[in-house]
Amino acid sequence: MKIFKFGGASVKDAESVKNVSMVLQSQGFAKCLLVISAMGKTTNELEKVVELYFKKDNYQTEIEKIKRKHIEIAEGLFPENHAVFAEINLFFDDLDSFLRRNKSPNYDFVYDQVVSCGEMISTKIVSEYLNEIQFTNQWLDARDYVKTDNSYREGTVDWVKTEEFITSLNPEICYVTQGFIGSDDNNFTVTLGREGSDYSAAIFAYCLNAEAMTIWKDVPGVMTGDPRKFNDVSLLSNISYEEAIEMAYYGASVIHPKTLQPLQQKNIPFYVKSFVDPTKEGTKVGASDKNQQEESYILKEDQALLKISTRDFSFIAEDHMSLIFGYLSKYKIKVSLMQNSAISLALCLEDKFNQLEELNEELQKIFKTEAIKNVSLFTVRNAKMDHIDKFYQEKNVLLEQISKNTLQMVTQ
């Protein structure tokens, strides 16, 4: 089977959904599984619903707006009496019913039950449309196949159960399913982390021993830098799994960090291609003698720099490090870069769940700390070290680190 993943931008309106069918026509619609994200900015809009719900504010108006948007998309794809309209209404009725009945104060639990609705509705619309135009497919609820623990908003996949369920699929037919979501032992929805649809596609690819996996983006492939942030960038036509993993870890937005490991384990080729021009080759990630190591630029924004030192000028020892990383795990804060000296530790952090303040309060009971918010991590991969002076121009550098072929700096 082939796995195709379409993100929110590729299904943002009726014309975009029609374009998906054109992409599939160019690739051959047979023996494939489509993983589809929520439409456009729906995930952001549903996040707002959760915020309003916990503020005891008028979340119903926001739900109605999101519902209206999906109905308008469907009106551009189906005749007015089509069954999909009843499906859309049912999804939103279920969402409203859940929020009225819910007694759980757990923000992350509620978040996953609400935000996952975007993928459910999106895939139902795309699946029905493809069937309408004779691209025969079966709609799947990914929660019946991707099983996780109950770490809401950052679920850990139970690979044994997941593989058992996914391998039961018929490899001779086509499927449409959701990215980003799975379910725990109680069948509650668990999301796999923000932007986790690529990871979902990799899970299905791994379990189905896929021939290849392709993610369809609004860019030509993996570039040497985000063209919205950097000038004079070029396409990387071939890169290794290792290079792609490093780029994803440092913050290259075109690839989700967890996506590559399952693919690498089974040597499944991974393509990043443009849904604007599906005939272009894009980028191939995998084992190849054509793999490139071009100078590449990655800017990871919305970071925080946390400086930690002992109160008595004693060394930052192993027991200190263990304690600090225990707190980082507790508050689900990821380390993007670390640097330590004898008496201090500097951490560039990604605080996705807005828990830096709580972490800092815990650490201040033992250490001296300084937190600087709204910093950026700038990484140059395969840097030409004899020309790195240019990267320091017009930057306020708070921290820098240079290895054999990588330059990193935290800037403000």
The CATH number given to whatever domain includes residue 367 is 3.30.2130.10
Asked whether residue 65 falls in the same domain as residue 197, the answer is: yes
- Residue 31: how many other CB atoms lie within 10 Å: 16
- Domain with residue 109: its CATH number is 3.40.1160.10
193 and 313 housed in the same domain: no
| pLDDT value of position 165 | 98
End residue of a domain, out of 162, 185, 217: 217
Domain count, the chain: 2
Q: What distances in angstroms separate CA 119 from CA 178, 189, 218, 361, 393, one per listed residue?
A: 6, 12, 19, 37, 43
The arithmetic mean of pLDDT across residues 207-232, rounded, is 93
Give the pLDDT mean for 22-28: 93
Are residues 28 and 171 located together in one domain of the fold? yes
Look at residues 161, 192, 217 and tell me which one is the last residue of a structural domain.
217
CB under 8 Å, gap of 24 or more: what pairs does 49-54 form?
49/99, 49/114, 50/107, 50/110, 50/111, 50/114, 50/115, 53/99, 53/110, 53/114, 54/107, 54/110
* In-domain check, residue 353: yes
3-class DSSP state of 69: helix
Q: Give the angle 410-318-369 at the CA atoms, nearest 5°.
A: 45
Residue 269 lies in a domain: no
Q: 300 and 207, same structural domain?
A: no
Asked whether residue 210 is domain-assigned, the answer is: yes
204 and 315 part of one domain: no
Mean pLDDT computed over 285-289: 85
Last residue of a domain, one of 177, 198, 217: 217
How large is the average pLDDT for residues 189-198?
A: 90
Q: Given pLDDT bands bounded at 50, 70 and 90, which one contains residue 196?
A: confident
Residue 395 structural domain: 296-411
Residues 144 and 16 in one domain: yes
The answer as to whether 231 is a domain residue is no
Cα–Cα nearest to 62, from 45, 87, 44:
45
Question: Do both 98 and 198 map to the same domain?
Answer: yes
In a domain, 286, yes or no: no
The mean per-residue pLDDT over the stretch 376-391 comes to 91
Residue 303's DSSP bridge partners are 375
The encoded tokens of residue 175 equal 């499927």
pLDDT in tens, 241-276: 989 988 888 888 788 878 999 999 999 999 999 999
Q: Is residue 287 part of a domain?
A: no
- In tens, the pLDDT along 337-358 reads 999 988 899 999 999 999 999 9
* 338 within some domain: yes
Mean pLDDT of 34-58: 97
Same structural domain for residues 319 and 202?
A: no
Residue 242 domain-assigned?
no
